[in-house]
């Protein structure tokens, strides 16, 4: 199985951080079923945000997800697309990524909430207005609040998939 580095645009990376689809479409360039790749976001400071393997449907499915703690990927900058990678270089990053992803990797239950006051004449109207606001404002403007089940004091706000301070006095 060949090793690759797949560089995606900053826009694609932001979408992946926000929605976490479990994998990305394989770019043109010769990747075959079973090939493995480092997933790198292009930009001024490139980052490795995951490792993946090409599945039977032709998608690059995550084997290691680093969306919450990407690794510096300065050595992998360049054009968006796929290019072959030396196996030793791949394994070096794979070892670091696997070690990093094992920290705190235990799945637990999280509560996620989007709360907003809505004036309406009925519950149904309030729900319709809520979904309209969610669609209009979207993840760029509407904070989602997340906390581990049973620990409401640990609640944090997230905007665009990243922690965001919502305290106006701390700006």
Mean pLDDT over each residue of the chain, to the nearest integer: 87
Calculate Rg over the CA atoms of the chain: 19
- Are 163 and 170 in contact by the 8 Å Cβ rule? The answer is no
Per-residue pLDDT of 44-103, as tens digits, reads 889 999 999 999 988 999 999 898 889 998 788 778 999 999 999 999 999 988 776 555
Residue whose entry in the numeric block shows the structure tokens 């090939």: 35
pLDDT (0 to 100) of residue 108: 85
Q: Which pLDDT score is estimated for 100? A: 63
What is the C-alpha separation between 123 and 115, in angstroms, rounded? Answer: 15
């Amino acid at each position: 199985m060949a090793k690759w580095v797949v560089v995606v645009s900053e826009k694609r990376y932001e979408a992946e951080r926000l929605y976490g689809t479990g994998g990305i479409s394989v770019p043109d360039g010769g990747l075959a079923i079973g090939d493995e790749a480092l997933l790198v976001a292009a930009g001024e400071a490139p980052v490795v945000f995951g490792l993946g393997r090409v599945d039977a449907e032709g998608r690059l499915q995550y084997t290691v997800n680093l969306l919450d703690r990407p690794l510096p990927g300065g050595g992998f900058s360049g054009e968006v697309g796929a290019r072959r990678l030396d196996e030793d270089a791949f394994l070096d990053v794979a070892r670091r990524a696997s070690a990093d992803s094992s920290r705190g990797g235990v799945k637990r239950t999280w509560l996620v909430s989007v709360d907003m006051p809505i004036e309406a004449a009925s519950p149904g109207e309030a729900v319709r207005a809520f979904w309209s606001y969610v669609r209009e404002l979207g993840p760029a403007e509407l904070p989602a609040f997340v906390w581990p089940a049973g620990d409401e004091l640990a609640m944090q706000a997230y905007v665009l998939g990243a922690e965001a301070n919502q305290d106006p006095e701390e700006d």
